[in-house]
Chains A and B, each alone.
Chain A
Amino acid sequence: MTQHLILLPIVNQLLVAVLLMFFYGKVKTQRVLSVAGSVLNLIIAGLVLQRVASHGFLTLQAGNWQAPFGITFIADHFAALMVLLTAISGLAVSFFSTKTIHVKRVKFGFFPIFHFLLSGLNGAFLTGDIFNLYVWFEVMIISSFVLLTLGARKQQLEGAVKYFTLNLLASVIFLTAIGVLYGITGTLNMADLALKVPQVENRGLVHVTAILFFIGFGIKSAVFPLYFWLPASYHTPPAAVSAIFGGLLTKVGVYALVRMFTLIFTDDLFLQRMILGVAVMTIFSGALGALVKNDMRKIFSYLIICHIGFMIGGLGMMTETALVGAVFYLIHDIVVKTNLFMVAGMVKKVTGKQDTRVMGGLYSTHPLIALLAAVPLFSLVGFPPLSGFWPKLELFRAALTDGFYTTFAFLLFGSFITLFVVAKMWKRVFWGEIITPLKQGFTLFDDETPQRKLMFLLPIVFLACVSLYIGLGANHVWQLSQTIAGELMDPQPYIEAVFETLNSAEYEN
């Protein structure tokens, strides 16, 4: 029975989504149910991680079909942690949506789709079967299409066309890669693939498959030549939607890349060099993009791309220290990016504007919001005790000790530009002359009741606290990242866990 705990994060979100559909037009009930479901999911995700930490990997063979034949679900520390981070971001965004998503959008089914998206995310993290991963990716992207287009404004639809085309193309490439991999190995189970791929004699075909996977996941995680859909679409939907997209969707791509290239396509110098090359170009182009943009959410979109490069770079270096850095960065980035897009929504709510050039004086008019915004912004830069500092330190250390000097230079460049961009934004938005807010068809923050004001700020406070914990309690997070990196470097326990499930299940009965 305890093994079934692994399915709960997926099933819980699915049930919440289905339940929400029964209250289709009822806005208040939907809001309460969504937050309640997210809280429940946070508890479940905490339990899963606690169980993995105390009892080792959780595995479940769907329908009791033994490992390489059936669909396997497996939660190692990495998957369990990602589920927990999804739950944290999901709770914050769900709470943020209750006040910021317009009633009309809620009536068109915002909340059920939001929970389907989270269900797909959890599924993608927990599955141990590559075709099942494809299915969860589809669950996720179809939900994201609906969230992106809900409301159907001109800008949203134009952004959605680009987002849709490139994500669908990524899915087709991913499916092609699965087909070729099945053709050469005859299996879909990831642990089984880890055993069989190294035995394939036709290395050329394995390389091609690996690159197909890299392109497929690369489009989804917005790496260098494939990221153009991201800055074209992430600033168009409501702030809550961009928050969940910016926090989690690209990171699933990174998660899948880390899984594929540490478990299945390992020990390959050519692939590592390719990943490193793509990573430095991603850092470079993301940083330059962020420099020239003025829309707050567009700046954050480019910063996402820049920081994806950090994580992919950690993967490309392929040493234990580098993986610790990459995993730690992933933890930090999910929380901070979700929070930043909510802050951008908040700033728009206060000023009525998106263009940073025409804002100013928020620090003197709303010191509390400025303080709240300072936490994720300074964490992003990597201000010493805050959360961005530690993973960057780890990545720099990895690059220097193993002689990846070019990567080191680009990491430094990316960090420096991030600092510059954030400083510029801080100067424009929070310092300077006080500028009167622009009325734009929604109630401005200052005209809201104090109770509603508090509701707007609570999710940002919550994520700021999580980010402070990651920074100040870095020791715990670092240990966890260390465990994860150890598991990624040595996939043997993962493979054994998948193949021994049935025996242990019999033992328990």
Chain B
Amino acid sequence: MEILLAVTVGLLYASGMYMILRRSLVKLIIGLILLGNGANLLIFILGRISKGKPPIIPETEKFFIDAYADPVPQALILTAIVISFGLQSFAIVLIKRAYKVVGTDDLDEMNTTDEEI
């Protein structure tokens, strides 16, 4: 399972990077979304995957006696998902507006900011 997830993370990062390097605005956003998902999945794997070991201390004990599933990465991913959701919705509105105002979705044509006045 871990190998499958690791390969998926690698694929997500690679395809995200590839998409960011394209000239189209829409592909740029898709690339950023893929990269974000790759990062979330990476945190998930790095929290060590274990099956059927809830992080609950038995009533008779005072501390953990066995290995347990780490709940922190899941909290981190949840936060990161919410944040990236907000950023992505902003991004989509931004590219729609930029497309309307500039009249192109080709990044190579969006260079008035670098021109001299």
What residues make up the interface of A, taking CB atoms closer than 8 Å to B? 131, 134-135, 138, 142, 145-146, 149, 152-155, 157-162, 164-165, 168-169, 171-172, 175-176, 178-180, 182-183, 186, 188, 231-233, 235-236, 293-295, 354-355
Contacts and interface: CB of A to CB of B under 8 A. Distances in A.
Contacts of B36: 168, 172, 175
Given A131-B76, A179-B42, A183-B46, A154 B112 contact: yes
A165 B94 contact: no
Contacts of B98: 157-158, 160-161
Interface of B: 20, 25, 28, 32, 35-36, 38-40, 42-43, 45-47, 70, 72-73, 76, 79-80, 83, 86-87, 90-91, 94-95, 97-98, 101-102, 107, 110-114, 116-117
B32 A169 contact: yes
Contacts of A146: 90
Contacts of A152: 97, 101
A294 to B, nearest CB: 6
A266 B34 CA distance: 33
A232 B111 CA distance: 9
B104 to A, nearest CB: 10
Nearest to B91: A164
Given A154-B112, A172-B35, A182-B72, A294 B90 contact: no
Contact of A188 (B72, B80, B91, B116): B72
B87 A179 contact: no
Contacts of A138: 83, 87
Contact of A233 (B25, B40, B107, B113): B113
A149 B102 CA distance: 14
Contacts of A178: 43, 76
Contact of B90 (A142, A153, A176, A180): A142
B113 A232 contact: yes
A183 B80 CA distance: 16
Contacts, number: 106
Contacts of A135: 79, 83
Nearest to B46: A183
19 contacts: A135-B79, A138-B87, A145-B90, A154-B101, A154-B112, A155-B113, A158-B102, A160-B94, A161-B94, A161-B110, A162-B110, A164-B91, A169-B35, A175-B80, A179-B42, A182-B43, A183-B45, A233-B113, A295-B116
Contact of A294 (B102, B114, B116): B116
Max chain B C-beta neighbours (<10 A), residue from A158, A171, A175: A175
Contacts of A149: 94, 97
A180 to B, nearest CB: 7
Given A149-B94, A183-B47, A158 B87 contact: no
Contacts of A176: 39, 42
A179 B95 CA distance: 29
B108 to A, nearest CB: 12
A295 B115 CA distance: 10
A182 B110 contact: no
A158 B86 contact: no
B71 to A, nearest CB: 11
Nearest to B117: A355
B50 to A, nearest CB: 14
A180 B101 CA distance: 40
Contacts of B79: 131, 135
A188 B80 CA distance: 15
A175 B39 contact: yes
A357 to B, nearest CB: 9
Given A142-B90, A161-B94, A182-B72, A295 B117 contact: yes
Contact of A161 (B40, B73, B86, B95): B95
Contact of B117 (A158, A161, A232, A354): A354
A155 to B, nearest CB: 6
Those 10 A-B pairs whose CB atoms lie nearest each other, nearest first: A183-B46, A179-B43, A157-B98, A158-B110, A175-B39, A232-B113, A159-B113, A172-B35, A138-B83, A355-B117
Contacts of A131: 76, 79
Nearest to A293: B116
Nearest to A154: B101
Given A131-B76, A160-B98, A165-B32, A182 B46 contact: yes
Nearest to B13: A176
Nearest to A138: B83
Contacts of B80: 134, 175
